[in-house]
Homo-oligomer: A and B are copies of this chain.
Amino acid sequence: MKILVLNPNTSEDMTELVMRVLAPLTPAGVTLKPATGRFGARYISSRSAGAIAGHAALDAYAEHGMDCDAVYLACFGDPGLFALKELAGIPVLGMAEAACRRAAALAGRFSIVTGGERWGPILTEFVASLGLADSLASIVTVAPTGGDIAADPEGSIALLAAACRRAVEQDGAGAVILGGAGLAGLAARVEPLVGAPVLCSAATGFAAVLEALGKPYDKPERGDLALPAPVPGIGLSPSLAKLISG
């Protein structure tokens, strides 16, 4: 079985970081195929970069996903998530999507802690689009970005733990997601300082993909996630053109 690990950022470094996190979690018999966005921002930290990345995710899936059994959209915020679900005939799971659903199942109400202040309203909308608005205790952003945190993980533990504690103690979260590939691997360090489950979004999302791998996939045949009718198009990569235009 093969999983497309799709990083719609255009940073190979970030793809490699994600692959390093996932490698030890990958069971025998499962192969990971990395793919990086072909165009767009190095790091997604705005609505416009995210909009471009939605296209880049489709483009990368069309180019690299045809021989895969599932897609892991490995970028917290999940640009292009529902478009990919629509276009792909295989399971597509997003890092934020899977982490949020897992946290809600674990603890009822959850919070997200992530780097970069702009993410607050964007992630609030995202959680609502999952139908989980009632389960969201809060989103707590810290000033350093995911990239900053990845560059100094040791120095970020205390800051992240304080944000998680605020989520638990003031906002009533029963579990906290550390959101973003840049924060991968820190949950185990932060959790003992918090007193509530702290989830690594990268690992949690990957676990959901592995679960989906083992099950027959029930692609919707109607509704807004069914495969759309082919429509002519221009200016797309040959692979994506083929998917869109049939």
Q: Which residues of A contact B (CB under 8 A)?
A: 10, 37-43, 45-52, 54-58, 80, 82-87, 97, 101, 104-109, 118, 120-122, 125, 128-135, 168, 172, 174-175, 195-197, 199, 207, 211, 215, 218, 220-225, 228-229, 231-236, 240, 243-245
Min CB distance A10 to B, Å, is: 5
Contact in complex: B134, A131 (CB < 8 Å): yes
Contact in complex: B224, A174 (CB < 8 Å): yes
Question: How far is B37's CA from A59's CA once the two chains are assembled, in angstroms?
Answer: 17
Contact in complex: A51, B80 (CB < 8 Å): yes
Contact in complex: A38, B235 (CB < 8 Å): yes
Q: Which 6 A-B pairs have the closest CB atoms?
A: A39-B235, A46-B228, A131-B135, A51-B83, A55-B55, A51-B54
Min CB distance A209 to B, Å, is: 12
Min CB distance A229 to B, Å, is: 8
Question: How far is B51's CA from A85's CA once the two chains are assembled, in angstroms?
Answer: 12
A122 / chain B contacts, CB cutoff of 8 Å: 224
A222 / chain B contacts, CB cutoff of 8 Å: 168, 195-196
Question: How far is B215's CA from A168's CA once the two chains are assembled, in angstroms?
Answer: 23
Count chain B CB atoms within 10 A of each CB in A50, A120, A168, A244 and give the residue with the most.
Answer: A244
A232 / chain B contacts, CB cutoff of 8 Å: 41-42
Contact in complex: A40, B235 (CB < 8 Å): yes
Question: How far is B85's CA from A175's CA once the two chains are assembled, in angstroms?
Answer: 14
Contact in complex: B109, A121 (CB < 8 Å): yes
Do A220 and B107 form a contact, CB below 8 Å, given A129-B125, A233-B42? Answer: yes
